[in-house]
Amino acid sequence: MKSYKLKDITNLITCGVAKRPEYVDDGVMFLSSQNVKADRIILDKYNCISEEGYVKLTKINKPLKGDILYTRVGSFGEAAVVDFDDEFAVYVSLTLIKPKEDVINNRYLMHYLNSPKIKNFAQNNTRGIGVQNLNVDTVRDFDILVPSLEKQHKIVKILDRVQELIDKRKAQIEALDELVKSRFIDMFGEPVLNTKNWEIKSVIDVCDCMVPGRDKPKSFTGSTPWITIDDLNVNGVTYKSKSNLGLTDNEINEVKRKKVPKGSVLMSCVGNLGICSIAGEKMIINQQLHSFQCKDINNFFLMYYLGFRKDYMMSQANSTTVLYMNKTVCNSIPVYIPPIELQNQFADFVKQIDKLKFEMEKSLKELEDNFNSLMQKSFNGELFN
């Protein structure tokens, strides 16, 4: 196994066009970092440029099937192999990499770039205060360990197989989420149109609410979870901060906060509106969250219902640089009120599905840990000696 600089085992490493071209309604795909995740190019949303613009932008460096796209701005450090023949150009947030086929397998290189080893290196070499970026010269100087093409092929075969299992497990989890949403509509009708003509009230008519203050704690040395939007287990139960941040009673009192009770429905009210979860224990929430304490409505029913009303929330929200809903808007969200017995039946169904999801997510974690272990062994020369 020999070590190379990435620039020595590729024919080209370059970033996309820096100046945003003129977009058209129908034309050639113009991809950015939002279209690339690890081992996945997402083509459900993209801008288009004219054929003339495409020819001009790709006159020297034309992206082709088999090339690698690597994110370098914002969500940096994600690599995927181009697996389609359609024409496209790339924005500056992407790096275009053309591997030397006689030296390195493109999927071996893709997995290498997605490995914790390279991601950690990239993380430590980014620039920028706000949106971080990875300089293309840094990418060119990545150290890549390269075994024989035969061993690369074997490594790719193993990693691809485990990745396939991971993708299948994720799809199964997503299918369970869709099953719950489908059951909701079967039981209660379409939430926006109220097709079953349930009584409608403002959410504050069936709940109490707690609104957090603006002051952020100066220290986190306790055990009461400090919860932000990113910590929410969406449409599930949230127990703790992903960063394990917690507060003491003194730290809570210093910022004049009150603990949100266990069982409260948590809802995002800033940015990406209507992300919901249920508090699994007493916690402190930041100012991007609003909480409801259910009185005459089931908390699981309300959590899912609110998730269906994002369009309404966006229509009522104020906007400066980001969307936000104030206390009045949050509390005035209309909610239909089916019989509580029916709501409870739905909640029981959700809890059964959550048990299945828990086991699947546990299995997914084991697969991902195994995948990362295999990558480490593969790229340290330990898998095939």
Quickly state the pLDDT bin for 130 (edges 50, 70, 90). low
Nearest-angstrom CA–CA distance, 332 and 347: 23
Nearest-angstrom CA–CA distance, 352 and 347: 9
Which phi and psi angles does 103 have, rounded to 5°?
A: -115, -40
Supply 357's token pair: 């999801």
Tokens 């299945």 sit on residue:
356
pLDDT in tens, 137-190: 999 999 999 999 999 999 999 999 999 999 999 999 999 999 999 999 999 999
Contacts 24+ apart (CB under 8 A), 345-352: 345/187, 346/183, 346/184, 346/187, 346/188, 346/298, 346/300, 346/301, 346/304, 347/298, 347/299, 347/300, 347/301, 349/180, 349/183, 350/180, 350/300, 350/304, 351/300
- Per-residue pLDDT, averaged over 370-379, amounts to 92
Burial class (CB in 10 A: 0-12, 13-18, 19+), 301: buried
Q: What percent of the chain has pLDDT over 90?
A: 86
* Whether the Cβ atoms of residue 234 and residue 277 lie closer than 8 Å to each other: yes
User: Given a cut of 60, is residue 4 above it in pLDDT?
Assistant: yes
Q: What percent of the chain has pLDDT over 70?
A: 98
pLDDT in tens, 88-117: 999 999 999 999 999 999 999 999 999 999
pLDDT at position 320 is 74
Nearest-angstrom CA–CA distance, 318 and 314: 8
The domains located in the chain, with CATH, are 2-146 (3.90.220.20), 199-337 (3.90.220.20)
Nearest-angstrom CA–CA distance, 375 and 77: 16
pLDDT in tens, 181-214: 999 999 999 999 999 999 999 999 999 999 898 8
For residue 370, the SS3 value is: helix
Q: Which candidate, 235, 241, 229, 243, places its Cα nearest to that of 283?
A: 241
- Per-residue pLDDT, averaged over 305-326, amounts to 91
pLDDT in tens, 239-297: 999 999 999 999 999 998 999 999 999 999 999 999 999 999 999 999 999 999 999 99
pLDDT at position 181 is 95
- Let me know how long the chain is: 385
Supply 321's token pair: 């640089």
Nearest-angstrom CA–CA distance, 140 and 5: 7
pTM above 0.85, yes or no: no
Nearest-angstrom CA–CA distance, 195 and 282: 36
The amino acid occupying position 371 is F
pLDDT at position 314 is 93
pLDDT at position 215 is 85
pLDDT at position 381 is 81
